[in-house]
Structure 1
Amino acid sequence: MSSDAPVGARPPAGKTFFGHPRALSTLFLTEMWERFSFYGMRAILVLYLTAAVADGGLDLGESSANAVYGTYNAMVYLMALPGGWVADRLIGARRSVLWGGVVIAVGHYVMAIPTGWSVFAGMALIVLGTGLLKPNISTMVGDLYERDSPRRDAGFSIFYMGINLGAFIAPLVTGFLGEKINWHLGFGAAAVGMTFGVLQYVLGRRNLGDAGARPADPLLGADRRRALTRIGVASVVVLAVLLVLLVAGWFAVDTVVNLLTVVTVLVTVGYFARILTDREISGTERSRMKAYVWLFLFAASFWLIYDQAGSVLNIFAADQTDRSVGGFTFPASWLQSVNPILIIIGAPLAAALWLKLGHRVSTPTKFAVGLVLNGLSFVLMAAAAQAAVGGDLVSPLWLVAVYAIQVAGELSLSPVGLSATTKLAPVKYASQMLGLWFLATAVGDAIGGQVARLAGTWSQPVYFLTFGLASVVLGLAAVMFTRQIRHLMAGIH
């Protein structure tokens, strides 16, 4: 999904937002509230799944809850691929964002229903809605600027702040309501947040000009009818499979989670195979894609550990952390706000560092730094878990330090990876490569959800130390093969 403005798009004129098109404020607030709802629900999801029935939870085992959490995250990123396609070929980015927001809000309202089934039905709707909204709202931000506008990068920086502002505020609100009052009330707060986002998006649509108004490459006539027929058939097949699982008595949480994990990996393998075997791409482009395969694997390995913050580390915060301050025990989910505030602080510092270093530090080396830092965060968690052996509660500063190291790793890998994705993309697949980058997170989260099952069976110090050292070793291996990967990148730094 390219963020370049499509032919014919014109940045809307009129009032400005911090010197940028007024429409940026509409998209900024839409994304802020969408991230509020997403991270707000995510902050309490595993805690709700593992809470005892007497405490209003589902009393799901820690192993299964971690797997559900990882698979849910994976599906959110996996659906960015069809979501981008729907916008590009059928209804345009603007309507995709609108309907995505509506479906997300409905999903959160369903989760607010105080029944056992509502959480899974709601998550399914949120996955579908986020797939429509997430990739396409970024495309619309790009549509606000001419291709060579010097304000373009600054506009995305402001937009990025909206993401992290929503992620910072959300756990503070939903965490207090969910953990202190009622879980479904916390889910309801996320629903209200997304409703605010949809309403202000509708009210601000007059500011958007031509941004996202039309599909970038619309299907017409017979091609459109054929595509809609295939979508309908695929939907029927999926529903039929779910019905068979239900009738056969196989519709268990673990069965569905395992199936979706396999689907995520197979889709990714198929996507890479399609590109690498395409005879229309040049030899240089194929070489760069081979380099990208390695970067993709590094990124997936990074997210496998990093995104356990909302599952394994969240449970650790709830059960083994001393959260009492002046007689008040703050919700465990409040610690989920540490990550976004550190990103807000660290992002400009990281950008300045990479600008100063220039090409002296290559992309593979930056990925290696991210992997090593990510691994060291889990090594530190092993020390925290060891301190908690025997039932002692440890200081929450352990987790703050862990998140600080992880954020440093993220800032070494995530924005760099996004940039490398656009630079290494074959011309034919330029508009699809952002979706491929999202797949790295999907694969990491899907496999990470399965790996996190071990946290319930291994001792915690062994669990954290094993995967922490594995990430460090992988990062060091990446350093050793930097020269080979740079050779495959064929002149791209």
Structure 2
Amino acid sequence: MSDGGGRTFFGHPRGLATLFGTEMWERFSWYGLRAILATFMAASPANQGLGLSDVTAQAVVGVYGALIYLVALPGGWIADRILGARRSVFWGGFVIMLGHISMAIPVTTPFFVWLGLALIITGTGLLKPNISVMVGRLYPEEDDGRRDAGFSLFYLGINLGAFFAPLVVGWLAAGDRWHLGFGAAAVGMALGLAQYVWGRQHLRGVGERPGMRLTPDERRRFGRLAGLGTALTVVALAAWAATGTLTIDRFTVAVTIVILIVPVVYFGYIMLGSHGLTDDERIRMKAYMWLFVAAAVFWMIYDLAPSKLLFFARDHTELSMLGIPIQPATTQAFNPLFIMIFVPVFAALWVKLGTRVSTPQKFAFALVMVGLSFVVMAVAAALAGTGRVSVWWLVLVYLVQVFGELSLSPVGLSVTAKLAPEAFKGQMLGLWFIAVSVGDAVGGQTGRLGEVLSEPMYYLLLAALAVVAGIALFMFTRRLRVMMAEHHEPAMR
């Protein structure tokens, strides 16, 4: 199969190779940073770290991850109305690279760390949502089969980057060489940008222009609103700092509260506004709210991998596998490895089961799995009370969690698109990422429970929350299927 008479990428348009490589290296930089960020922040200044408590570091990592997903919404809008997807991806990657370079500067002041994180958040908001859009646009609208296969290859690139990043960055950052690890993340993003620029001719004009460019009046209005919003934020933070009460901990709590307010306002706007929603659309949105909450609970636990579980690896495990010494960051490679192994298995399973397993049942199964993974963590934490435990406990935890992720994540965007009211088809896809944002932000704050609970009880409490939520979804599956207008067949025996 050719691409206009030229070479192809495993039978797909050559542009897919460009986007595959760009995303692989961008994910290398993202997951590389994520694999060492919490331990860097919690390391003492004597060990070249920031000297934050584990609780504060967990909160920062949670808010950082939450903002990454939240800014995907304005990032997509900027591409659609101002820059176009192609330029958004380039400038997003460039800003991400600057962020990693900022963090790699070997100075003792934390200013460049916070600047670097802010730049990475901003750049990811431009790159992440728009590179996926460009993959889809490489194919004719009617070519659904090749497009799905193309996305499978694209997601392989994501997980390849996610797998190798903790191994490479973790090894380089060992011995308190944190900034060397951050520098490796910067190099990764630079390679991704080089791949993107070198292969741009294969994109065949995809994403060249905004889908609906702002008019001059709209552009001026947007500029004024953006400037006003930035100024108000700066003034508010300056006023807070002037009171002497601004701390990193309080800032993360404030951001978490704002993130929690966003979906409440958004759902209220959809349900209470005058948008011409039909009765059926309102009923489907009520069903979606339950799935949204379920997803947020899932990500709250699942995305504790780069903070709470990383600290457990650092403090309570024998860092050795098959006799080979490893770094705490190495444990962050288990998840993408299992995803690459089990994606085809679960894809075949869902095809075989068809409609006999509903979306609510898949979400419920995911919640039970992520809950059981923390039951395993509770057992490991109890055993760690008498000494370090085998790192294979974490391998088991990540294996169980991946079973949950592959039951929830692939259907998340699909069910969002299916249940979205006609007036909100485009915007609603961003709402799925807000569920991840809420989960990450709240998960970051759960570290404070460790101040009143033992380690095993901390894990058991979160496990109970997830399992109870999963059981509740199972119990109301029939009702939710009716609300969703999902085709009903006899349940799987």
TM-score interval, smaller chain: over 0.9
Q: Which of 92, 100, 107 is the aligned partner of 2:92?
A: 100
Q: CA deviation at 1:282?
A: 2.0
1:151 corresponding residue in structure 2 = 146
Matched, 1:296 2:296: no
2:244 corresponding residue in structure 1 = 249
Q: Which of 26, 31, 36 is the aligned partner of 1:39?
A: 31
Matched AA of 2:90: L
Matched, 1:357 2:363: no
1:205 corresponding residue in structure 2 = 200
Q: Which of 135, 138, 141 is the aligned partner of 2:135?
A: 141
1:91 corresponding residue in structure 2 = 83
2:103 corresponding residue in structure 1 = 111
Q: CA deviation at 1:491?
A: 3.6
Q: Which of 19, 22, 36 is the aligned partner of 1:27?
A: 19
Alignment of 1:44-443 (within 5 A): 44-114=36-106, 115=108, 116-149=110-143, 150-180=145-175, 182-278=177-273, 279-324=275-320, 329-390=325-386, 392-443=387-438
How far apart, in 1, do the equivalents of 2:329 and 2:223 lie? 42
Q: CA deviation at 1:249?
A: 2.5
How far apart, in 1, do the equivalents of 2:195 and 2:170 lie? 25
Per-residue CA deviations over 1:408-459 (Å, capped at 9, x if unaligned) read 0000111011211121112221112221110010000011111122235421
Matched AA of 1:400: V
Per-residue CA deviations over 1:324-365 (Å, capped at 9, x if unaligned) read 358763101101000001000111100100000000010000
Q: Secondary structure at the match of 1:388?
A: helix
Sort the Cα spacing of 1:305 and 1:44 in 2 relative to 1 into closer, same or farther, 3 A. Answer: same
Matched, 1:447 2:442: yes
TM-score, length of structure 1 as denominator length: 0.95
Q: CA deviation at 1:13?
A: 7.1
Q: Is the 8 A contact 2:16 2:135 kept in 1?
A: yes
* RMSD of equivalent CA atoms: 1.5
1:6 corresponding residue in structure 2 = none
How far apart, in 1, do the equivalents of 2:320 and 2:354 lie? 45
**Number of equivalences:** 482
Q: CA deviation at 1:83?
A: 0.5
Matched AA of 1:281: L
2:491 corresponding residue in structure 1 = none
How far apart, in 2, do the equivalents of 1:34 and 1:65 lie? 23
1:4 corresponding residue in structure 2 = none
How far apart, in 2, do the equivalents of 1:429 and 1:140 lie? 21
Matched AA of 1:222: D
Gaps of at least 5 residues in structure 2 are 489-493
Q: Is the 8 A contact 2:321 2:391 kept in 1?
A: no
How far apart, in 2, do the equivalents of 1:95 and 1:58 lie? 35
How far apart, in 2, do the equivalents of 1:61 and 1:331 lie? 20
Q: Is the 8 A contact 1:63 1:454 kept in 2?
A: no
Sort the Cα spacing of 1:486 and 1:50 in 2 relative to 1 into closer, same or farther, 3 A. Answer: same
How far apart, in 2, do the equivalents of 1:233 and 1:12 lie? 48
How far apart, in 2, do the equivalents of 1:87 and 1:97 lie? 9
Q: Is the 8 A contact 1:40 1:174 kept in 2?
A: yes
Gaps of at least 5 residues in structure 1 are 1-10
Q: Is the 8 A contact 2:355 2:487 kept in 1?
A: no
How far apart, in 2, do the equivalents of 1:329 and 1:137 lie? 37
Q: CA deviation at 1:12?
A: 7.5
Q: CA deviation at 1:52?
A: 1.8
Q: Secondary structure at the match of 2:174?
A: helix
How far apart, in 2, do the equivalents of 1:456 and 1:345 lie? 38
Q: Secondary structure at the match of 2:426?
A: coil
Q: CA deviation at 1:236?
A: 1.5
Structure 1 moving runs of 4+ over 3 Å = 11-14, 324-329
TM-score, length of structure 2 as denominator length: 0.95
How far apart, in 2, do the equivalents of 1:145 and 1:380 lie? 44
Q: Is the 8 A contact 1:14 1:21 kept in 2?
A: no
Q: Is the 8 A contact 1:70 1:445 kept in 2?
A: yes
Per mean C-alpha deviation after superposition, the further-off stretch among 27-36 and 219-228 is: 219-228
Matched AA of 1:361: V
Identity of aligned residues (%): 54
